[in-house]
Structure 1
Amino acid sequence: MIQIINRNLQPLIENHWNHIENHFKNHTNSIRFEDINRLCMKIEPGFSFEMLIKANYQKLRYIKEKIYPRIKKIPNYNKCSEKIKAVYNDKFSKSNSHIGEYNYNAIEFVDNLDISVCPYCNRNYIDTREYNNVKKSGCQIDHFYDKYSYPLLALSFYNLVPVCPSCNHTKATKEFFVSPFDETKKTDDIITFDWEPIDSDYLQSKDDVKLIYKCDMEMKHQFEELKLEKPYKMHNDIIYEIIKKTQLYNNIRLLELKEDFPGIPFNQEETIKILFGVYLDSVDYLKRPLSKLTYDIVKKEVFNK
């Protein structure tokens, strides 16, 4: 799991809510905005439909674990929750439809987040493509808390995780414990990648190095549920290439490059980024596949030496 870090997240949440509010106030009839808002006000003192949509991951987890059974007993729960789920299914999730007055749907939601790679596996690109002036999504939206068990959360911003189709189908309705929107779980703290040689002469082939990973129990559960261990172990070629590059581009060679190209500004971070195809800031992990794996190996082979 790679944490979704967007420094402009709050305006995106406000935009998301504005479209939902507009839709339920002006484009629904069987269930009105006021009906859902009254239901939400019974969840907790001072709560509202707006707070349900904007609730951060910790609040959603609290709702799901502590009070959702009680919410289901509130009059009109079934009609309100099914309407929210229907708006997601019939309007928000479709590329040729939208909610509110403007063309806001799941595609715009993902575009606004400005991430390029699946936060669950960090292997597959998630992108948007345009055919005949119509945008088509290359990703799917996973409901961290599935919309069948928790339909009231079907449009909550922090419950919508853009992922690749492989991860979405594999996760299905399984319960995970580490959300990419969980601000208390930093990517560098919950999973790290490393390697070890299979034999002493490990620089002859990619098959001479072995990928290993370490993570906490919650992350280990998700890694196993997503069946990622085998796919990740296919990428020992990346580890092998990094090890070879550290030998080819040692400090002496880097100094020679700097002297050979005096017109090009050299700094350590930019040089390492170009040579190894790695991002050094966790905010950029979702810009390129396998960025966390690459970073951890480069950190060990370059920075720690």
Structure 2
Amino acid sequence: MIPITHPLLLQFAYQHYEAVEDQLKSDGSYKTVSKWFEKNGLGMSLKEAIMASVPLMEKMIEAYDGTTATTHLKDMYKERFSLSGRSLGNKKYTAARLVENLGIKVCPYCNRNYINNVPTQKKVKRTSELDHFFSKDKYPFLAMSFFNLVPVCPSCNLLKHKFDVSASPYDFRIPWDDAVRFNYGITDADFLKMSGKSM
């Protein structure tokens, strides 16, 4: 796994929040969703929920456990944000823009498959899918939280439906430089011999 880092990450999260807020206002559900977050669990604002870090989302999961969750954000994801070409509110903010902002070119889970955006005549299509690190079905209130949306390749997203990933690439608590190291080196030159004879 590779971490998702960018010097403007918090700015991107705020841009994401503004688009979610704009869409909720145009749908007429902003007050309902805001009040749900304020009156339940941690008593937080919608902005705090949408921009929540991985550790804060873990606390939210515990605090909102047993609460009848709002599904507005999950519906927004399914009906708008997950679809190519559909944007949020008046800001023309799309999932392709999220991926483009992050500058991710390779799946952070497998570090093998490319996840580029592909421009077409009318819109930008993405080759990535957005994985919900914390399941949108179990935790619909986190469905549009910025740090819960991980751009991944379709293969990894399919596999993750069956298996849990133990760390989020957004988790700042993980010392990524020490977590995984790859190394290669030649230990001998036996590959230069054919049938016991030197080349």
What TM-score results when the alignment is normalised by the length of structure 2? 0.89
Q: Report the alpha carbon displacement of residue 173 of structure 1 after superposing the two structures with TM.
A: 5.2
**CA–CA distance in 1 between the matches of 2:41 and 2:75?**
24
| Aligned equivalent of 1:156 | 145
Question: Is 1:67 paired with 2:67?
Answer: no
Q: Kindly provide the amino acid, as one letter, of the partner of residue 70 in structure 1.
A: G
Q: Report the alpha carbon displacement of residue 127 of structure 1 after superposing the two structures with TM.
A: 0.4
Aligned to 1:201, which of 168, 189, 192?
189
* Contact 1:145-1:175 within 8 A present in 2 as well: no
Q: Percent identity among equivalent residues?
A: 33
| Aligned equivalent of 2:24 | 24
Question: Is 1:3 paired with 2:3?
Answer: yes
Aligned to 2:107, which of 107, 118, 122?
118
Map residues 51-62 of structure 1 onto 2, 5 A cutoff. 51-62=48-59
| Aligned equivalent of 1:138 | 127
| Aligned equivalent of 2:196 | none
Question: Unpaired runs of 5+ in structure 1?
Answer: 206-305
Distance 1:202 1:141, change over 3 A: farther
**CA–CA distance in 2 between the matches of 1:61 and 1:204?**
53
Aligned residue for 1:192, secondary structure, equals coil
Q: Report the alpha carbon displacement of residue 159 of structure 1 after superposing the two structures with TM.
A: 0.1
Deviations 1:57-88 (A, max 9, x none): 11012222x2232333xxxx3xx22x211110
**CA–CA distance in 2 between the matches of 1:194 and 1:202?**
20
Deviations 1:75-124 (A, max 9, x none): xx3xx22x211110111111121111032111111111111111101111
**CA–CA distance in 1 between the matches of 2:83 and 2:3?**
26
| Aligned equivalent of 2:15 | 15
Deviations 1:188-229 (A, max 9, x none): 2222224577x8434539xxxxxxxxxxxxxxxxxxxxxxxx
| Aligned equivalent of 1:230 | none
Distance 1:171 1:202, change over 3 A: farther
Question: Is 1:40 paired with 2:37?
Answer: yes
Aligned to 2:73, which of 59, 80, 84?
84
Aligned residue for 2:34, secondary structure, equals helix
Q: Kindly provide the amino acid, as one letter, of the partner of residue 151 in structure 2.
A: P
Aligned residue for 2:91, secondary structure, equals coil
Q: Report the alpha carbon displacement of residue 46 of structure 1 after superposing the two structures with TM.
A: 4.5
Question: Is 1:174 paired with 2:158?
Answer: no
Q: Kindly provide the amino acid, as one letter, of the partner of residue 46 in structure 2.
A: F
| Aligned equivalent of 1:256 | none
What TM-score results when the alignment is normalised by the length of structure 1? 0.59
Q: Kindly provide the amino acid, as one letter, of the partner of residue 41 in structure 1.
A: E
Q: Which has the higher contact order (CA 8 A, sep 6+)?
A: 2
* Contact 1:17-1:50 within 8 A present in 2 as well: yes
Q: What's the RMSD between the two structures over aligned residues?
A: 2.0
* Contact 1:146-1:173 within 8 A present in 2 as well: no
Deviations 1:18-45 (A, max 9, x none): 111111012x14xx21111111012345
Q: Report the alpha carbon displacement of residue 163 of structure 1 after superposing the two structures with TM.
A: 0.6
Aligned residue for 1:70, secondary structure, equals coil
Deviations 1:222-265 (A, max 9, x none): xxxxxxxxxxxxxxxxxxxxxxxxxxxxxxxxxxxxxxxxxxxx
**CA–CA distance in 2 between the matches of 1:43 and 1:129?**
41
